[in-house]
Amino acid sequence: MTSNTGAATLDPQHISVVEPVRGSDIPVRLMYVELVDGVYAPIGLRIPKGQGPFPLVMFASGNGGGGMAIVREHTQNVSWTQEQFLKAGYAVVWLRYRAEVDYAYDKIGKLVSDTRQRRQLLNRGPLEYEDVIAIAEFLKTLPEIDGNRLGYMGMSHGGEMALKIASEYHGIRAMVANEPAAHEFLRLKPDNTAKINPATGLLDVEKMLMRDVNKVRPRITEEVAAERMRPIATPMFVQGRNTDELQGIFRVCYDLLAELGKDAKWESYEHDVHGFCYVHRNDKGDYAPDAVQVQVVGDSIAFFDKYLKA
Give me the sign of the Cα torsion angle 217, 218, 222, 225: negative
Supply the DSSP string of 84-146, one letter for each residue: HHHHTT-EEEEE--PPPPTTHHHHS----EEEETTEEEESS---HHHHHHHHHHHHTTSTTEE
Whether the model pTM is above 0.85: yes
Residue 219 lies in domain: 17-100+125-308
Tell me how many domains the chain contains. Answer: 1
pLDDT over threshold 60, residue 258: yes
Is 6 inside any structural domain?
no
DSSP structure class, residue 217: G
Average pLDDT, the chain: 93
Is 214 inside any structural domain?
yes
Is 107 inside any structural domain?
no
pLDDT over threshold 90, residue 98: yes
- Greater confidence (134 vs 206) lies with 134
Is 1 inside any structural domain?
no
Candidate ranges 3-7, 122-126, 204-208, 270-274; pick with highest mean pLDDT: 270-274
> Helix (H, G, I), strand (E, B), or coil: what is residue 6?
coil
Query: What's the N-to-C CA distance of the chain in angstroms?
Result: 40
> Helix (H, G, I), strand (E, B), or coil: what is residue 186?
coil
Is 120 inside any structural domain?
no
Rounded to whole angstroms, what are the CA distances from 158 to 26, 165, 187? 25, 10, 17
Is 12 inside any structural domain?
no
pLDDT over threshold 60, residue 6: no
pLDDT over threshold 80, residue 2: no
- What is the spatial distance between Cα 254 and Cα 235, in angstroms, rounded to a whole number? 11
pLDDT over threshold 50, residue 100: yes
Write down the number of H helices and E strands in the chain. 9, 13
pLDDT over threshold 50, residue 3: no
pLDDT over threshold 70, residue 222: yes
Candidate ranges 2-11, 102-111, 163-172, 186-195; pick with highest mean pLDDT: 163-172
H or E element, residue 213: helix 213-216
Given this model, what pLDDT does residue 18 score?
Answer: 96
- Greater confidence (106 vs 293) lies with 293
Is 175 inside any structural domain?
yes
Low-confidence winner among 71-80, 85-94, 202-211 (lowest mean pLDDT): 202-211
Q: Comparing C-alpha atoms, which of 256, 255, 252, 250 is closest to residue 276?
A: 250
- What is the spatial distance between Cα 146 and Cα 144, in angstroms, rounded to a whole number? 7
Is 106 inside any structural domain?
no
Low-confidence winner among 17-21, 59-63, 152-156, 199-203 (lowest mean pLDDT): 199-203
The CATH number of residue 229's host domain is 3.40.50.1820
pLDDT over threshold 90, residue 193: no
H or E element, residue 308: helix 291-308
pLDDT over threshold 80, residue 4: no
